[in-house]
Structure 1
């Protein structure tokens, strides 16, 4: 099934914005949701809305089956060894903070190192920065290549026997590069360090096998992969998750409570305090079914084709600069146009019905490394088409012409 055929499943795409057909190119921020996901969540609320695990009545059992069934779908989707290694969170940010508080702040101290890069999204940067400040550990950065990518040579030069945790992106939400996770895992483990991977831009766009990657943690958000907002996944190897302390207490994560001490349930429930994200997990499960039917390899192949197709035309626009690697990019293109501020560029494109992202993309250290304050970003997904790329290119040319006339 090609992109044009897939669009029929996405109701939101069939509308006009400012008198023009919507061209949605802000998938890096959040993707649109197919009817299958919307209907799965609607069915939960209409037919078997109930809390999970604790009840013994029929609706509770159906809801529990749906919730835990979604966990198994996630396990298979990323090839984790067991469902106990899959923790439902509020999203990637929540997962990063869970490990930063429950692991880094508990086990790290002066002399230890947390290694990351300046490319990271703030969600995979600030929790480690603050953990380092709280524990006295050293916050350390892998030097970037000229195009902003991470080389294995730089990783080898940075990671030492003092390194306890390496936190890095799978795919950059700004530069679109793919980091060699498997090789970085080998380097980290040779030094006795754990590897935490921000997969927010990885899991929606490529086939993930956490056992093959051999990362210790991998996290992603449902809303960037055709699923609902407010739910995400933290994968961790069982032996590592066992050591992480929960960050939230009460409700579903409790095993036994005494007056002066308490114990927690086994994995994964010790991290899922209170009423869990039931409808969100069910929606994520439906999104995974949808993506698996299309095939993650097919999705990645389609997106890379669109990126290549778009970049070839964007390079012909005088004054347009593309940031990051010029070849073999994943699902997005970040750029600036002459002296046009990215917010002005996005506003003009919006007047033609084209939705792109503009700003620092929650990556201010990287913006300073690039020597810019902001950029524009066009990000693609399985339902985008070559025709939409053509509309984007025409919009960029009109924007350039408009501002050229204004300042001429």
Structure 2
């Protein structure tokens, strides 16, 4: 079923837009019991935490059981290569000073339960990165990747390439299971005019075993005119609240957004192309354009059945592909965005767009002319767990067809 602009306008009266995607209802929420244990770290002999002060190639097994001490700390702007490492920690696994040049490939990363009631540590905490290649890694139960601000050196050319990784159960919780500061599997925070791509990664998050904001979030970040930042050919499964009956959750598969107070045309999220991604079973939303300009989502598949993996239904599923100025940037800056040629089937309780119990698209009134979904494909009802599960074999077939092997496999 093709959805045109006329169809969209006719249906807008049926949409109920909720601030920050908050939803409640009288539906019962069943607590899903975890269907597999927390990550088990392979038996190994570990060295203590590693401090790197000069460039070079580093290989080994490194571990920190202290939430305050990273497993690896990098204090050099010289090129550093980390490969064939087993890196384990209760805090950040890798933490960097600014302007680093990193090639991190073919490693295994495992987060340990935090102590001192800290949060799960990030797999990489990189402040003002200069260049980053993060490829062929296996990551289990961490606070995700944070790229925090851009290198401010004159004429700095920033490139970030994140490919061929398996990233499981991103978690922002503290040791007492309360939520801490927001964390995403991949978080760009104010990294503008960056080159590179996020592609061919597999994200997996289980209910109760994970608690993340977005799987991929570009916050006041993106590429540049003529060279958009690319997010393509990723498989994303799962984004859930904790506890599962919480009445507020704002996560997603992929979101581009920002902060109105610091935004200009040059610094807000901009020039992002997201395409050929599979986004499955993400509460709140599949993909969001929530601030910025020149952001284009196309040829993606977004499917959620409105149920957890054990069949328990939930009203935490809100909208498939959402486009609205949640960042409240000036209207003149929220331009040249598009959602087109996506295939969507997103179950949302009490919604009727484009079919009963569905909300495939969300366009907030007042933003229609500058941002509108055109010519997207609505999957027929019913959208079931079986429809969700059929996407994984398609993903595996795509990997095989492109001769791609994920994770720490040579």
Q: Which bin holds the TM-score, normalised by the shorter protein?
A: under 0.3
Larger gyration radius, structure 1 or structure 2: 1
Normalized per residue, which structure has more strand?
2
Normalized per residue, which structure has more helix?
1
TM-score (norm 1): 0.24
TM-score (norm 2): 0.24
Higher RCO (CA-CA < 8 Å; seq separation 6+): 1
